[in-house]
């Protein structure tokens, strides 16, 4: 799974409504749009929009049976996604940046800097 796919899945699951819809679909074998609308309290158009995004991210697969469109989770995508995230987490470790000094430490640092400049200027005379 490449980085663009990881980003697409992350964005798809970042929305709270989409995440709830995905959880509901994953908990059952399959669901149609009407079932999702009735249990989540969102409009059919909103559900359709969210299902489209989940489908484009390959998190769900949709199939038509007559007038109903059934959605089911694609566990292979979640498996590949979690492996990709684990790989990213194990990736090259960056050297942590030093913390910014605050309060008296910062003031003392500025004072030392001024003193050093003063002493340097004195030695050049």
Strand-strand pairing, 68-73 and 31-32: antiparallel
Q: What is the pLDDT of residue 14?
A: 96
Residues in the chain: 125
Tell me what the mean pLDDT of segment 96-117 comes to.
75
Q: What is the pLDDT of residue 101?
A: 60
Q: What is the pLDDT of residue 29?
A: 87
Which residue in 91, 56, 92, 82 sits closest to 1, CA to CA? 82
Q: Which residues contact 39 (CB under 8 A, 6 or more apart)?
A: 24
Beta carbons within 10 angstroms of residue 96's beta carbon: 6
Report phi then psi at 18, rounded to 5.
-65, -40
Bridge partners for 69 per DSSP: 64
Tell me what the mean pLDDT of segment 78-93 comes to.
88
Residue 69 in 3-state DSSP?
strand
Contact 74, 58 (CB under 8 A): yes
Tokens of 8: 């697409």
The mean pLDDT value of the chain amounts to 87
Top pLDDT among 82 and 120 is at 82
Q: What is the pLDDT of residue 55?
A: 96
Mind listing the pLDDT tens digit for each residue in 23-50?
999 999 899 999 999 876 789 999 999 9
Which architecture does CATH list for 3-90?
Orthogonal Bundle (1.10)
Bridge partners for 31 per DSSP: 71
Which residue in 6, 25, 22 sits closest to 80, CA to CA? 6
Q: How confident is the model at residue 116 (pLDDT cuts 50, 70, 90)?
A: confident
Top pLDDT among 50 and 97 is at 50
Residue 53 has pLDDT above 60, yes or no: yes
Q: What is the pLDDT of residue 123?
A: 75
């Amino acid at each position: 799974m490449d980085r663009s796919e990881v980003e697409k899945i992350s964005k798809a699951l970042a929305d709270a409504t989409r995440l709830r819809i995905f959880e509901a679909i994953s908990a059952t074998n399959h669901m149609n749009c009407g079932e999702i609308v009735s249990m989540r309290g969102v409009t059919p158009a909103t559900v359709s929009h969210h299902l489209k995004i989940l489908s484009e991210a390959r998190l769900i697969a949709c199939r038509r049976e007559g007038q109903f469109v059934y959605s089911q989770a694609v566990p292979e995508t979640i498996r590949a996604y979690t492996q990709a995230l684990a790989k990213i987490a194990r990736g090259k470790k960056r050297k942590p940046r030093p913390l910014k000094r605050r309060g008296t430490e910062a003031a003392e640092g500025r004072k030392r800097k001024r003193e050093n400049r003063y002493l340097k200027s004195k030695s050049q005379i």
